Amino acid sequence: MSTNSQRSGSQPAEQFTWAGMYARSAAEPKGLGRGKRGRYDFAVAYPDPGSLPLAGLLDGLKQAMDDEGGDLSLYANPQGYTPLREFVAAKLQRDRAINVTADDIILADGSSQPIHMVAETLLDPGDVVLTEDFVYAGTLNTLRRFRADLRGVATDEEGMIPAAIEEAITTASAEGKKPKFIYTVPTFQNPQGWTMTLPRRKALVALSQQYDVPILEDDCYVDLRYEGNDVTSLHSLDETGRVLYVASFSKIIAPGMRLGYLTGPRQFLEHAIGAKSGGSVNTFASWAVHRFSTTHLYSHIEEINDIQKDRRDAILDALDENFSGSGATWSRPQGGLFIWLQLPEHADLAAVRDDILEEYDVGYLPGPNFAPDGVSGKNCARLCFGYNQPDEIKEGIRRLATAFRAKGLIP
């Protein structure tokens, strides 16, 4: 009730209703606020708070303010801060064998905005997009926002299975719906943890070229390698301009900086930048990340990988100790932030998730969150190991096993 209505004693004004006003293409409603986080939080891929390079970022920002502070009076280049784009181009050439220039880079808000830009640029309602059988939930939500027809492709520990990719392409094409693109997280896949092998990458690129279906390569976790050898990017294996590439500073500096990037053929980027809302990325964040990255990024990656390897090892040890003989299986990734846990087929981890969070203070995300059909994988869960200390990880996994046994999901 307004103050004027209260003072006059009049009846409150009838409130306008927004029902019936929403566009047919409007996003599905979501509750406001944030739900409870477990003390033992395996649900979200947060990094270790103690590993954030706060002093280095602040020093970099101070230096940039001294050097370029007056430029805050200007609206920045929509593609983003040029020196940071130059750094990204050099990093891609060094680390991923991707030969591009700063003009071929668009900086954006994390990796989510570039993926949104790709979807808005390419998708009409009903267009088929192929993904892994379980894949990053944020991208699935974006693709659903544009009413894509999502079709999961079978995978194993080496990545997407070439025969399954080809079958999915030919099936959709026979329906008159040739896939618009293939979305993949080929390195330390979210949520399954595997890394696509070089032969599988070559096979995927060959199928892309044979059937004229582009690829969207999401390489956000590639720097988080704890063991084994790097595998070159899909982008580097394609010389035809069919591969779009996105990555991010979120997991190697801080998610809260909200900085990622997109590269691809310029003819595509010229369309995609038109779908980029809000102009340039935040100048403060760009300055800080650029100054820090040019002098400290690679040593910082080594430091955080040592931390995360200890946590990866802690969660694997705890799973061995608490789940052996239960019928459960789990991935053993060489990097990244995710363990993919699979219980016997009868288990429904989605049904008990909220109860376990409330009763045992342990959080996880169930398999259907990552399924293109939204229902598969009820006996699966993604466990993130980046946030909690190793002793907390071990206690959290002990509690999770206790909870699953109490719910009758494992013996």
pLDDT of residue 18: 92
Q: 77 Cβ partners below 8 Å, 6+ apart? A: 280
Q: Which residues of 337-362 are buried (b: 16+ CB within 10 A; e: fewer)?
A: bbbbbbbeeebbbbebbeebbeebbb
> Taking the alpha carbons of 97, 283, 244, 194 in that order, is the dihedral positive or negative?
positive
- Is 80 exceeded by the pLDDT of residue 243? yes
Q: What is the CATH number of domain 54-296?
A: 3.40.640.10
Task: State what percent of residues in the chain have pLDDT above 90.
Answer: 86
pLDDT of residue 5: 47
Total-model pTM: 0.94
pLDDT of residue 57: 93
Q: pLDDT tens across 64-105, in order?
A: 999 998 888 888 899 999 999 999 999 999 999 999 999 999
Domain residues of the chain, as ranges?
40-53+299-406, 54-296
pLDDT of residue 9: 63
Task: Give me Rg for the CA atoms of the chain.
Answer: 23
Asked whether 241 and 213 are in contact (CB, 8 A), the reply is no
Asked whether 100 and 79 are in contact (CB, 8 A), the reply is no
According to DSSP, residue 335 is labeled B
According to DSSP, residue 129 is labeled E
Q: What is the DSSP string of 187-247?
A: SS-TTT-----HHHHHHHHHHHHHHT--EEEE-TTTT-B-SS-----HHHH-SSS-EEEEE
Q: pLDDT tens across 268-303, in order?
A: 999 999 999 888 899 999 999 999 999 999 999 999
Q: pLDDT tens across 102-111, in order?
A: 999 999 999 9
Q: How confident is the model at residue 8 (pLDDT cuts 50, 70, 90)?
A: low
- Is 50 exceeded by the pLDDT of residue 34? yes
CATH of 40-53+299-406, one of 3.50.50.60, 3.30.300.30, 3.90.1150.10, 3.30.420.40: 3.90.1150.10
